[in-house]
Amino acid sequence: MKKLLLTLLITSTTLYAQNVIFGNGFEQPVIQMVKLNDTGITWGGDYPSGNNATCTSNIASPQDCNQGRDFTHNDDTDGHAGFSFTKLDANGTALVDQSVDYATTPWACVQDNVTGLVWEVKTTTAGIHNKDNTYQWGGDTAIGKGHPNAQGTYYDPSWNELVQGSNTDNLCGFNNWRVPTVDELSGIANQGTFNPAIDTNYFPNTVSSKFWSSSPIANYPYYAWIVYFDYGGVYGFIRDNGNRVRLVRSLGQ
C-alpha cells in the first residue's frame, strides 16, 4: 500500500507540474524513459547525528549508500562511485588512456555512460568554453523560447554564442549542442563531495558556482532553474542574473 501511494503521489505531482508548464499553450512533452545517475554518496549517517567515512551506521534502515549504483557499481576507475564517464577528444574519440590528467592531455567532452549524454568540458583559455563566462537566462534552446505563450523574459543574446559556436565548430564531432534541462544538469552533480560538487577528474575547471539549465520555473515566470555546484543543490534564480552554462547533447541524436 505504501508503495502504491508513493507511486500515485509521484504520478500526480508529475502530471500537475506538466499541466502548469504546458497549460499556457506549450506542446505536451515527449515522455521518455531515461536512466539516472546515483547521488555519489558512499557514506552513512548515525542517529542522532554525525556522518561516517564509510557506509556504516547505527541505524537499521538502509541509507542512500546502501542502494543504487553507488552500492552496486562502486568503482572509481571510470568516475566516482556509481558514476561512469568517458573522456573524449575534440573529435569525439575516446582517449586511449582514460587515466590521464587534464594538464597532460586535455579533453574536450565527457560522455556519461549511464545516461548516454555527452557534456562540454570547460577550459581556462579565452573563448566560448572558458569556465568564467556567464550569461543571462533565455538564449537558444531555452525551453519555451519563441513560443507565443512563453512566460517572462528570454534574454538575448544570452548564451547564443556558446551554443551556436559549439555547433558551428562541431565540438567533439557533434552539431546539436544545447543547454541541459534541470534534470539532466543535476544528474552530474556529485552529492558526495562539495566545492565543487562534481567529479573533477572528468569535469576539470568547474567553478563552485551556479549553472543555468534550460528549464523555466512554471509558476515564477521571471525565474529559471539552476544547479549550484557548491553542494549540488537545485534552486530557482532570477533570469537577469549572470550564471555559467555547460552544454550537453544526447547520444544518438
End-to-end CA distance of the chain: 40
Decide if 9 is inside a domain. Answer: yes
Decide if 11 is inside a domain. Answer: yes
Decide if 75 is inside a domain. Answer: no
**How far from 242 is each of 28, 191, 212, CA to CA, in Å?**
30, 24, 9
d(CA 24, CA 32): 22
Output b/e per residue, 43-80; b: 16+ Cβ within 10 A. Answer: bbbeeeeeeeeebebeeeeebbbeebbbbeeeeeebbb
pLDDT of residue 253: 60
Decide if 181 is inside a domain. Answer: no
Residue 2 pLDDT greater than 70, yes or no? no
The mean pLDDT of 244-248, rounded to a whole number, is: 98
pTM of the complete model: 0.86
Domain count, the chain: 1
The mean pLDDT of 65-73, rounded to a whole number, is: 93
Decide if 22 is inside a domain. Answer: yes
Task: Tell which wins on pLDDT, 29 or 142.
Answer: 142
Decide if 13 is inside a domain. Answer: yes
Strands across the sheet containing 117-120? 85-88, 109-112, 117-120, 248-250
pLDDT of residue 34: 73
Output b/e per residue, 166-193; b: 16+ Cβ within 10 A. Answer: bbeeebbebeebbbbbbebbbbbbbbbb
AA letter at 235:
Y
d(CA 196, CA 230): 5
**Cβ contact 40:121 at 8 Å:** no
Decide if 8 is inside a domain. Answer: yes
pLDDT of residue 241: 97
Decide if 151 is inside a domain. Answer: no
Q: Which domain holds residue 24?
A: 1-31
The mean pLDDT of 129-134, rounded to a whole number, is: 98
pLDDT of residue 143: 97
